[in-house]
Structure 1
Amino acid sequence: MTVTVVSMPEVTVTRTDLAGARERLAGDSLLLVDVELPPDAEPVPLAARLGLDAAELDWFGRPGEPARADFLGDRAGFVVPVVQGDAIRHVHVVVTERFLATAHHGQGDLAHKIAQGLRHERPVDPVHMLFIVLQEALATFRLSAVRNLLETEELEDEMFEDRKAEQLQSLARLRRRSAQLHHALLPFLQVTDAVLTRRMINPSFPEERQRSAREFQTAGRLVLADIESLQEATRRSFASYSSLVAGEQNGVINRLAIVSVIFLPLSFLTGFFGMNFTFLTDKLETRDDFWLLAIGLQAMVLLGSVYVLHRTRIWRRLLDED
């Protein structure tokens, strides 16, 4: 377990333990306390060990918690989804007027990223720090959506040049990824919008915080639009792939139809003259009669079939498709 304390406004980063973080939370103001839990750690009463309200914050640091946004009087609690590589993690956040506490499993560079954001933004209070953390979480979704969207467009371009089976597997992976991003972000935006809207209706909610809340809501809708664009792009690419496959199948069927047009009359003649009719056995007495009917008639049928295909321009259409 790694505990990082960031003090403002100097943005001083120090490492400590839970006891040291509890002492700092009890005495100092304008703090960010980040607790990194091992990925396979057993659940611990993290809120109680940090000196927070254990009854209302029993979910803080507990694995498997869904997206959450609660206003608890003098504090607020959030479970924020964050994209980390190919996985989607959740960061637990508790904010008051004095401090901001976060807890997460893994994500060892989260505290460093937040500290970098604090150095650039210079927040005036922990609520401002909260919106910085929320914006950083949205940025991970935006980056993942844009990167996957570009990969989808590249795959679609490659399909028209040289279609391969591996492209279909990549499209299926990207489509599943877009569904994961949408499924993780949409519930979080819904619960946070409900809480923020109720707070903005309250006349005591400061104007500066209202502006930060509106900026977050706008950014959330834009990121959700990016993810929906990714979903639409993957659906379009699947449709393009299906169209290409259907076009190739139509070409094969057309070629089989041409072969049938040529050889079906020949097969009929072969079967017809293979029967033991009296005329065939008694009247065809000379070799010339045999060659005239057996070879000449089939040659005439073959030439007629080719002429029909040429007049209907089927050959030309097949060459244009190739």
Structure 2
Amino acid sequence: MIVSVVSMPEGVVARTGLAQARERLTATSGFVIVDIDLGVDPPPDEEPLSRRLGLDDAAGEWLGRADEHVRAEYHDGTAIGVVPVVRGNEVTHIHVLADQRRFITVHHGPVELIEAFIDQLPQDLPPDVVTTLFLFLQGVLQTFRRAVTQAHLEVEDLEEAMFERRQPEHVQRLAQLRRRAAHLHRAFLPYAAVAQEILVRRRMADHHLSEERQAMNRLHEHTVQLVLVEIEALRDAARRAATSYASLVADQQNVVINRLTIVSMIFLPLSFLTGFFGMNFAYLTNRLMSEDSFLEFGVGLQVGAVVVALYYVLYRTHWRQLRDSRTRDAADDRS
């Protein structure tokens, strides 16, 4: 377990134990920021973390439990909840508790957001816990925005690479990006709903909110909606890239089928003539015995069949389409 305590408004960061953090939380001067890293596999403890920290609020009984998902509660001036944070290629959850004098974060394993947030505190020096909470939540939203932007750029690069030269691994990477977009949407949507509910409820219940608090609420709501729009744009881009890949595959299959059609139209008459002259009819066996007869009926019919097939394939498909396209282009130029 790693415990970091930041004394505000000085912004002094110190590594302490859980007992020392409890003493700092009961101090009366200023406010205190405490971050607790329980580790990836924390040891089982029967006593809740909230009681070990000296927090008697009933809302903090589940603080630090690994099986908690996105939620938010507000009791007598104490806000407590679980927020999702993008950590590398996965989404983790951070427990947050905030009141007038304390701001506590609890997580399992190292989180880059927490490290950057604590390192930035001596420069930001937030004046109170509410401002600290909003700064932290804005950092949470930025992790999603960075992840969405990176995935969006990968989708665009992948789509461009597919049009240049399609590779089998493109479809696998595209499927991974589609799953990434769905995972981000599934992780962020509950937080967006909870944040909207809490902010609207607080704004309606407290009619004496300062202009600064109202501005922070509006900023957070706007950023939440912006992240949702960006995630939806990522999902649309991934679906569009998948449709483009399917179109490229379909075009290639059409080319193959067109070539097979040409070959079959050439060899089908030949196969028919070969089978026809291979039959033991009396006319074929008794009358067509000379070299001139063979050249006239055998070779001549086959050459004629090939010429007719080639004329039909080339003129009725390729040449005719080319002529029609030139006619349309000339009509467009005149108009």
TM-score range, shorter chain: over 0.9
Larger mean Cα displacement after TM superposition, 52-61 or 150-159: 52-61
Residues 1:109 and 1:269: Cα distance change in structure 2 (over 3 Å): closer
Q: Aligned partners of 1:316 and 1:35: how far apart in 2?
A: 75
Give the % identical residues: 47
Which residue matches 1:203? Answer: 207
Larger mean Cα displacement after TM superposition, 204-213 or 3-12: 204-213
Counterpart of 1:80 (choices 54, 65, 83) is: 83
Unpaired segments ≥5 residues, structure 2:
323-335
Amino acid in structure 2 at the alignment position of 1:121:
D
Q: Shift of the alpha carbon at 1:236?
A: 0.2
Which residue matches 2:237? Answer: 233
Q: Is the 8 A contact 1:4 1:111 kept in 2?
A: no
Amino acid in structure 1 at the alignment position of 2:13:
V
Q: Is the 8 A contact 1:68 1:80 kept in 2?
A: yes
Q: Aligned partners of 1:221 and 1:121: how far apart in 2?
A: 25
Which residue matches 2:183? Answer: 180
Q: Aligned partners of 1:39 and 1:205: how far apart in 2?
A: 39
Residues 212-236 of structure 1, C-alpha deviation per residue, up to 9 Å, x if partnerless?
1111111111111111111000000
Q: SS state of the match for residue 205, structure 1?
A: coil
Larger mean Cα displacement after TM superposition, 10-19 or 118-127: 118-127
Within a 5 Å distance, the mapping from 1:51-66 to structure 2 comes to 51-53=54-56, 55-66=58-69
Residues 213-265 of structure 1, C-alpha deviation per residue, up to 9 Å, x if partnerless?
11111111111111111100000000000000001111111111111111111
Counterpart of 1:153 (choices 156, 166, 170) is: 156
Which residue matches 1:20? Answer: 20
Which residue matches 1:37? Answer: 38
Q: SS state of the match for residue 275, structure 1?
A: coil
Q: SS state of the match for residue 27, structure 1?
A: coil
Counterpart of 2:223 (choices 204, 215, 219) is: 219
Length, aligned pairs only: 318
Q: Is the 8 A contact 1:30 1:126 kept in 2?
A: yes
Q: Is the 8 A contact 2:113 2:140 kept in 1?
A: no
Q: SS state of the match for residue 223, structure 1?
A: helix
Which residue matches 2:269? Answer: 265
Q: Shift of the alpha carbon at 1:276?
A: 0.8
Q: Aligned partners of 1:112 and 1:184: how far apart in 2?
A: 22
RMSD: 1.7
Q: Is the 8 A contact 1:92 1:104 kept in 2?
A: yes
TM-score (norm 2): 0.91
Residues 1:317 and 1:63: Cα distance change in structure 2 (over 3 Å): farther
Q: Shift of the alpha carbon at 1:181?
A: 0.7
Q: Shift of the alpha carbon at 1:317?
A: 6.5
Q: Is the 8 A contact 1:117 1:132 kept in 2?
A: no
TM-score (norm 1): 0.94
Counterpart of 1:297 (choices 289, 294, 301) is: 301
Q: Is the 8 A contact 2:6 2:34 kept in 1?
A: yes
Which residue matches 2:8? Answer: 8
Within a 5 Å distance, the mapping from 1:133-172 to structure 2 comes to 133-172=136-175
Amino acid in structure 2 at the alignment position of 1:18:
L
Larger mean Cα displacement after TM superposition, 81-90 or 27-36: 27-36
Q: Aligned partners of 2:86 and 2:316: how far apart in 1?
A: 58
Q: Shift of the alpha carbon at 1:23?
A: 0.2
Counterpart of 2:126 (choices 123, 131, 155) is: 123
Q: Is the 8 A contact 1:84 1:107 kept in 2?
A: no
Q: Aligned partners of 1:38 and 1:298: how far apart in 2?
A: 82
1:90 aligns with 2:93: yes
Q: Aligned partners of 1:228 and 1:284: how far apart in 2?
A: 75
Q: Shift of the alpha carbon at 1:183?
A: 0.7
Q: Shift of the alpha carbon at 1:311?
A: 2.1
